[in-house]
Structure 1
Amino acid sequence: MKIELRSDTFTLPTPGMREAMFSAPLGDDVFGEDPTVNALEEKMAKLFNKEAALFCVSGTQTNQIAISVHVSKGQEVICDELSHIYLYEGGGIMANAGASVKLLKGDLGRLNVSQIRAAISPDDIHACESRLVSLENTVNKGGGSIYTSEALQEISDFCRSVNIPLHLDGARIFNAMVEMGQTPAQFGAWFDTLSVCLSKGLGAPVGSILLGSKEFIKKARRVRKRLGGGWRQAGLLAAAGIYAVDHQVERLKEDHARAREIAQVCEKLPWVKAILPVSTNIVILELQDGLSSATKVAELKEKGIYCAPFGPSYVRFVTHLGFDDEALQAFSERISE
């Protein structure tokens, strides 16, 4: 048995999702005539209590479109130093928006309102104009860390008080919701714009949603077109997203429980120095001094355990729809050998 824990992007469509995809009515989305894409966008906008939504290929695309609409050349995005938009989106903030980045050091990737307040540039021609605050929830590099509702409300209130938009990179936002008992409508109220991924824990094969006001999404649609993101009979993929939201949100709790069990098994291993706190479906191990993550990942692969190096001395496991109790048992046996 191959035990796949490199990422929750390795999930495959379930039989029910495949049936929904095959039976979806289709049209041309560039002309606004794919009924299934339209249904997904309307569904997600209503779910998060936003005026409009835009179906895109990936979370990177939705994030970069949002930044390009919010921020102009010479302005800056404030985010944590562990943010996906900074580390893993190919320099898109600079390449697409011509913008700068002000990096803050938060708590496992989570910022607080005091840090953000101190980071806002003064109204001075020598300073780069602060134009957007971007948060990530859950934080990938933070081991799946989560913001509390109180922290998000405080940050949201502050950003509105200084008239700076607040964007959410919600690649695993449903993981945060089921763990914290939060709702999509709450996130819609806290954030001006949101990127919501459907292809990780929810199990859709492709796709993310960008949410915002009607005016914002109209501008976003133009940027998506400019980036080559207009697609045609995309309802096949939109149907998978609808199915995922309808059927595969609550089961994310199972992924979190299995991630905690992985951490319990790994904390006993002699080659593990420390484990980041496990809040959702991500487990990040710090290796003992002198050990290489690339070497350890290769050793585990020989045992049929597929994981990812996460820096020179860190290894990441991510639980998901395709990692069940049988796989967990096999993992525990193999890694303990």
Structure 2
Amino acid sequence: MRTVDSHFHWFPRSHFEHMAARAEHPRTERVGDGYRYYYNEGRGFLPLPAIWFDLDAGLAASEAATGPDTVVVCTTGVLSGLLDQLPAKDAIDTAYAYNEEIAKAQRTHRDRFFGTAAVPLQDTESALSVLAHAVRDLDLRAVNLPPVTAGDPIDVARLEPFYARVAELGVPLIIHPTDLVFGEMLADYGDALQRTIGRLFDSSVTVLRLIFAGVMERYPDLKIIQTHGGGFLPYQAGRIDKNARQESLPLPPSDYLKRIFVDTVTPQALTVRTALEFYGPDKVIYGTDHPCWSPKAAVGVLEEAGLSDEQHARIRSTNVEAVLNLT
């Protein structure tokens, strides 16, 4: 059985070298074999050591955990949305170059590596062009969605054509936490608040905006993947239904939540079992968050969860192949 890791991080060095040549923020700074990525006008930065740029090492770690038939799906992760801090033309040019590098890796590591697109959203027409190029020309398999774009929330009305086009193309949106919204607010305790709950707030609020704005109602075929077991949402679905009071929605918010795919990047077997119960057996997909988490630990959590053989097969292969069109 082929195993598909839906939550894997790798970055092309060319992007970071390009960002290091910038004088203004966002920009990168070389630190040894890695980089610091400065954002929010330099008030925040992400340390990115060399492991983030070593694709062969990442593939080897994944295969050591789940066998030689392992496939990885590369996402932008916490860097989603940083392109939107660039001037619009720079963001578009940078996105084209980034997506080309991801597509090159997909061609080089055929059937072992699949890429996903970075699409800056501050200009809707340009975003549609980048989207079409990434999906139709480069064959990238999903689109990374940030929580905000150029200061606007992700449910701003001007993005309606973008969501319509994503739904038409049949590729999923990947919602991964960033540090753009809550990072400064929760920067205490060595970033422990932000890294533990702030990032889950980030992705959970993004999903709720898409629901409350009616995006998921208007585009029932729109596919969404939320990382980290759905953040806080499956555990508070009853409260959301009780308190949301969105008269424009014909269904309770939890009905839309259950359309979403969630991954198993959660170091707790209870969360995996809860995700299966809430979302259903066809909506949970395997992920490791490499290099932020160990692939062996990710497999260990699935084993601890006490899953049936059928559940293992769905999570590790069938579900993600369907949502990402990998069959």
TM-score, normalised relative to structure 1: 0.30
Counting helix residues as a fraction of each chain, which structure ranks higher? Answer: 2
- The structure, 1 or 2, with the larger RCO (C-alpha pairs under 8 Å, 6+ apart) is 1
Highest CA radius of gyration, 1 or 2?
1
TM-score, normalised relative to structure 2: 0.30
